[in-house]
Amino acid sequence: MTQDLVRSLFAAEFDNSILDRMDDSATFELEGRLAFTTDCHVVSPYFFPGGDIGRLALTGTVNDLAMTGAFPLYVAAGFIIEEGFPRESLGRIARSMQEAAAEARVQVVAGDTKVVERGAADGIFITTSGLGLVPPGVNITGSAASPGDVVILSGTVGDHGVAVMSRREGMRFETAIESDCAPLGELVRRMLSASDRVRVLRDPTRGGLAAALNEIAASSGVAIEIDEASLPLKPEVGAACEVLGLDPLTLANEGKLVAMVDPEDAGRVLAAMKTSPMGAAAAVIGTVERADRPRVYVRTAAGSRRALMMPSGEQLPRIC
Ligand code: MG
């Protein structure tokens, strides 16, 4: 049955010449510096407004590749499926995963499927690993932020977190809040062709912007100040956060990136971002400062400055 499932569903959907060989591992030629990453996806519910676990698993991994400046190329996917999971749902998930792969211009070239007994998994879990190629001269790392750098965010915060939460809580909002779940490789390509002084890229997924900025501040040994008033936020997401008692700065995003860019190139990079649908709402949100110890601050709309801490514990379990 697994053989049949793999051939008729996964292989048929992901169809490409490398996968079709059905060997024990995928083989291909690559030359240069590689980026390699892996990610587990356990989001609940597995269908949510704006996406599903398949799209999320694909984009999560290609975005981690893109955050090192790599061109994502190949993905391997592992599926852990609970006995009794509807085949129709599995088909939908595989299809949306392939649609995201086509958007990201990557191929799913290897995979594995395990079915576990009822109760041993919650529907479906997906692990994806990705391989990408870093163009020569590109060296993007979380430890490269330096004082004076401009902090740019590619779009609105909190959309994914609120979309998943609202479905989980059975909430209905006047405007449908959809996950931002999307591949960012093309946006990164545009940024890197506008400037060779993009120093840091990070996708603020679990833990949101608060976690991403605190990680960067710690790796780079700098302070980062962001300006609350300049943060792109959809009014309906802001309203939902108030109702649910959530801080948009700690909510997961799945189609956004934060960048630290040399001040001289910031305008050029921002303009390049705005030419991509993924960066249409991009904005400068802050600056990197010299500091004795790593810190992240928020300049509030009222003009005061508060520390933005690393979110402790898991505010929203199984958000991705
Ligand atoms: Mg990441």
Distance 91 CA to ligand 1 centre (A): 27
Task: Let me know whether 125 and 70 are in one domain.
Answer: yes
Tell which wins on pLDDT, 2 or 231.
231
Residue whose C-alpha is closest to residue 147's, from 292, 298, 307, 313 = 292
In a 13 Å sphere around the CA of 257, the CA atoms on its Cβ side amount to 35
Among 281, 237, 221, which residue's Cα sits nearest to residue 257? 281
Alpha carbon of 188 to ligand 1 centroid (Å): 14
Residues 159 and 286 in one domain: yes
pTM: 0.95
Please indicate, yes or no, if residue 26 is contained in any of the structural domains.
yes
Q: Which residue has the higher pLDDT, 316 or 160?
A: 160
Q: Which of 214, 50, 219 is nearest to 144 (CA)?
A: 219
pLDDT in tens, 208-226: 999 999 999 999 999 999 9
Say if residue 179 is in the same domain as residue 118.
no
Same domain, 14 and 94: yes
Are residues 181 and 50 both part of a single domain? no
**Would you state the pLDDT for residue 150?**
98
Q: What is the mean pLDDT of residues 161-179?
A: 84
For residue 273, which of 286, 260, 264, 282 has the smallest C-alpha distance?
A: 282
Residue 67 Cα to ligand 1 middle (Å): 7
Distance 20 CA to ligand 1 centre (A): 30
CA nearest 179: which of 251, 275, 112, 107?
251
* Nearby residues for ligand 1 (ion, Cβ within 5 Å): 64, 203
Alpha carbon of 246 to ligand 1 centroid (Å): 21
Q: What is the pLDDT of residue 174?
A: 65
Tokens of 100: 């995201």
Tally the domains of the chain. Answer: 2
Contacts of residue 14, defined as CB under 8 A and 6 or more positions apart, other chains included, come to: 94, 97, 98, 101, 107, 108, 111
Task: Compute, in angstroms, the gap from residue 68 CA to the centroid of ligand 1.
Answer: 10
Tell me the CATH number at 101: 3.30.1330.10
Same domain, 19 and 126: yes
Tell me how far the alpha carbon of residue 212 lies from the centroid of ligand 1, in angstroms.
Answer: 8
For the segment 258-287, the average pLDDT, to the nearest whole number, is: 98
Q: Which domain holds residue 57?
A: 2-134
User: In the predicted model, is pLDDT for residue 170 greater than 90?
Assistant: no
For the segment 107-136, the average pLDDT, to the nearest whole number, is: 96
pLDDT digits (tens, 9 = 90+) for 80-100: 999 999 999 999 999 999 999
For residue 4, report the distance from its CA to the centre of ligand 1, in Å.
34
Q: What is the mean pLDDT of the chain?
A: 95
Average pLDDT over residues 132-149: 97
How far apart, in whole angstroms, are the C-alpha atoms of residue 198 and residue 139? Answer: 9
What is the CATH classification number for the domain harbouring 181? 3.90.650.10
